[in-house]
Amino acid sequence: MMIDPRRLRERMVKEQIEARGISDPAVLAAMREVPRHLFVEPALAMKAYSDSPLPIGEGQTISQPYIVALMSELLDVKPGMKVLEIGTGSGYQAAILAHMGAEVHTVERIRKLFFAARKRFADMRLFSIRPKLDDGTLGWPEEGPYDRIIVTAGGPRVPQPLVDQLADPGKLAIPVGDTRRQQSLILVTRENGEVTEQNLGGVAFVDLVGSHGWT
C-alpha cells in the first residue's frame, strides 16, 4: 500500500464515523487502530477504507465501516465482557470488539472464511478471539451466557438459542427481515428477567443461513 493506512483510517473515522454521530471513544479508538486493509484480499486493500461493504469471497461481504461502528456502539461493549458474534466473515468486526477489550467468541459457517479469519487472528496476535466453524444460529451454548451478542447476517427472526444464551443484563443486536437482504436492526435487551425489543431502522446484510435462519 502506497498511502499510509493510518492516515486513511483517521480520515475514515472523521468523515464516515464521527460525522454520522458515533461518539463512543472505545469504538473510535478501535476503528483507528485495526488495520481494515488486512481483512480483505490484497487486490482490494486500496478500497478497504472507502464508505462501503466489500466482497470477501463465497458471496459474502465485510460490512461498511459505519455499520461496524454503529453496531459496536449500540452494544455498549466494556472491557472484560464476553461477546458472541455470529458471522465471522473477514474477522474485522471481531477484531474491533477485541480492541474494545471484549473476550470474543465468533462463529462462521463457511469453512474457507473460517480458516482465513482464524489465520488473521493468529497473525495479528488477537488471542482474545476464539473462532468456531458451525451454524451460529445455535449459538455456542458451552461458553455462554454472553453479556453481548452480535449477529452480522440478516435472518427471518431472532434465533431463540441466542436469546437463551444472553446474560442478564445483556444486549443482542441482529438484523431481522421477512425478505432477504433488507432488514431492520433489532436490539434485544434482557434486564431484571425481562426481554424487550427495539427496532432501530433499516439495514442491508447478507443472509443468515441455518437452523434458525434462512434455509
Binding footprint of ligand SAH on the chain (CB under 6 A) = 60-63, 86-87, 89-90, 92-93, 107-110, 113, 135-137, 152-153, 206, 208-210, 213
Q: Which residue is nearest to ligand SAH (CB)?
A: 89
Q: What share of the chain is helix, strand, coil (3-state, %, to 5)?
A: 35, 30, 35
Contacts of 105 (CB under 8 A, 6+ apart): 82, 83, 84, 85, 129, 130, 132, 140, 143, 146
Dihedral angle of Cα 51, 101, 28, 16, to the nearest 10 degrees = 10
Active site residue 90: no
From 63, 72, 90, 184, active-site residue: 63
Please say which residue, 2 or 61, places its beta carbon nearer to ligand SAH: 61
**To which residue does cell 444460529 refer?**
137
Write the single-letter amino acid at 28: L
Instruction: Pick the closer one to ligand SAH by CB: 81 or 173.
Output: 173
CB of 62 to ligand SAH, least distance (A): 4
Nearest approach, Cβ of 186 to ligand SAH (angstroms)?
A: 16
Q: Between 44 and 196, whose beta carbon lies closer to ligand SAH?
A: 44
- Identity of the residue, 154 or 170, whose beta carbon is nearer to ligand SAH in the bound complex: 154
d(CA 161, CA 137): 7
CB of 60 to ligand SAH, least distance (A): 4
Name the 3-class secondary structure at 91: coil
Contact 160, 137 (CB under 8 A): no
Q: How far is the CB of 140 from ligand SAH (least distance, A)?
A: 10
At 143, the amino acid letter reads E
Could you give the residue numbers annotated as active site?
63
